[in-house]
Amino acid sequence: MDSGTNSGFDTQGAGITVQRALELPGLRSGLPEILAGADRLHRTVRWVHAGEVPNIASLLKGGELLLTTGYGLGTRPAEQRAFVRTLAERGIAALVVELGPRFTRLPAALVDTARATGLPLVQLHREVPFVAVTEEIHTEIVNGHYALLQRAEEVHHRCTEALLGGGGIPQVLGILADFSGNPVFLETTDGQLLYAAGEGPEGADPLQVWEGLRGQHKDTPPSGSALVDVPGGGPGAGSVRARLVLLPVRAPLAPVHRMAAERAAGILAVVLMQARQEEELAARGRGDFLTDLAEGRITPEDAPAQARVLGFKPGTGPLLPVVMRLGDALAPGGGWAVLARAVSEELASVGVPVLLGVRPVEGRVLVLLGLRSESERSAVADRVAAALRAGVERAGMQRPGAQPPVVVVGVAGGWAAASASLRHAAETATAAQGLSDRPWYDARRLDIDLLLWRLRDHPDLAAFVDRAIGPLRAHDDRSKPPLLPTLQTYLAHAGRKAETARELHLNRQTLYNRLARIGELLGTDLDDPQTVLALSLALRARRHVP
């Protein structure tokens, strides 16, 4: 962002600075001498006015640079002091007096009062045409306004490109946050947070800012804030659907930031007109919070307050993380907004506090539940898994014949444990893709699968799988019946042949023949514990290698 000291255009007040005005050819030709307020030349010049009447302050609105030859200043010190005080009270940017017939030097009363009130006072030692000075400064101000509009238009263009490129509201808010250097929030008309972007002071999460600042000033926003309505919430020209909030916690907000927000609000209005966009956005915001918690970007100390902002108020019992991974072959269905609503409605019957978020990029639904005690874990996990799968079905997001979503339940504990357990469950849910269908998996029982998944790109893993079961894979590619399912079922039942035969619907002799053929192809003994361990690992690893 350009600063007033570098460009001379004051983005805070939508004008130019006094310093810049004095540097322009018109005033510079008058050999200006600063008599007071030298430390306040960064003030904004909103407009220029020239006049010679004693009560000229009543004609001004504030922010003007006043040009005069001094005929309205009065002849007595009391009049001169009153003249300067009224200008300072009106909030003009600076007083510029041209020396000549009225004054060859400015009176001490005038100078002393200007210094006392902090009003920049400048005397010109040469005559200058006030019309030319006014035109020059006004042209500079207009050009500055045009520059502001251009910058706001550039941000609008970037936001539009982000949406056309497949991005969504989070990307638009992120662009605004980067541009203003401050956190940006999208809230409902009743002040509920939908999404937050950017960083607070010293890199703080924006939810901390919301909890500590905006959450306490809903009726009277902090000074310097920018609140912009997003239209379209109902019938009528003045209807409002949501509100953009920019808070000046890292740097002051400038008019160009409000301009950019107003243009972005038009884009957001179009997006929010689509069904349930607010629900999806809120669900994404909660998903971002849970992901940041899992990845350590939110500390366990800060997490409870930020969770309260999102409506999650668990009791004193343990927190239970649950992650659902939908897989890669998703049907379009009603989209993530429909999924978020469907799952939330299904989870309403679970009977414990729930924080649900979505992460469309990773294909994840993340859930944090507040249990009353550790003993509830299994029962709650059963209900949550059923609710998650029912929500996916209602949303129509699972393709026919595709693998069902995987639900992984983490370890229950406090906020510190929830962070690590969420991360573990999220990784495990990805590693568990392709496993045989169960209502839910305990993350602790899939550590081997997670380890194998982490090694998926290592050539040694592919070589191990090929050595262990390569002959069987080659056999199944060219011959029937396939033998890998027989081996997998046999190992899953710990070598119990009767149970294996029943599950495969085979008579015992057929099973014995197949096991013998497997041993022959692999050149190994299926009763050897080390062989069984190696084959079990290879069967679990084959999902992760070509």
- 408 located within any domain: yes
Hey, which residues does 99 pair with through a beta bridge?
none
Residues 476, 483: Cα–Cα separation, whole Å = 6
Q: Are residues 295 and 425 in the same domain?
A: yes
pLDDT for 62 equals 87
Q: Are residues 13 and 52 in the same domain?
A: yes
Per-residue confidence (pLDDT) for residue 330, from 0 to 100:
55
Residue 531 lies in a domain: yes
Among 451, 484, 515, which residue terminates a domain? 451
31 and 78 within one domain: yes
Same domain as 330, residue 445: yes
Q: Sheet holding 226-231: strands in order across? A: 193-197, 184-188, 240-246, 226-231
Closest C-alpha to 370, from 346, 347, 394: 347
From CA 518, how far away is CA 538, in angstroms rounded? 15
What is the domain-level CATH number for residue 487? 1.10.10.2840
Single residue among 429, 451, 473 that ends a domain in this structure: 451
Identify whether the C-beta of residue 437 lies closer than 8 Å to the C-beta of residue 312: no
Domain that holds residue 327: 282-451
Looking at the fold, whether 425 and 468 belong to one and the same domain comes out as no
Strand locations in 283-415, DSSP E?
Answer: 319-325, 354-359, 364-370, 406-409
Q: What are phi and psi of 184, to 5 degrees?
A: -125, 140
For the whole model, what pTM was predicted? 0.57
Residues 6+ apart with CB under 8 A from 268: 169, 172, 186, 230, 242, 244
Q: Are 369 and 322 in contact (CB under 8 A)?
A: yes
The 10 Å CB-count burial string (b at 16+, else e) for 310-323 is bebebeebbbbbbb
- In the prediction, which pLDDT does 1 show? 32
Provide the domain count of the chain: 4
Q: Are residues 407 and 379 in the same domain?
A: yes
One domain, residues 439 and 472? no
* CA dihedral angle for residue 436, residue 438, residue 441, residue 447, rounded to 10 degrees: -10
For 503, the token pair is: 């599950």
CA–CA distance, 13 with 121 (Å, rounded to integer): 20
**Residue 162 resides in a domain:** no
Statement to judge: residues 125 and 212 lie in one domain:
no
Q: What is the CATH number of the domain that holds 334?
A: 3.30.70
Asked, for residue 505, whether it belongs to a domain, the answer is: yes
Residues 6 or more apart in contact with residue 449 via CB below 8 angstroms: 428, 431, 432, 435, 540
Residues of the chain with pLDDT under 50: 1-7, 9-13, 235-237, 275, 331-333
CATH of the domain at 183: 3.30.450.40
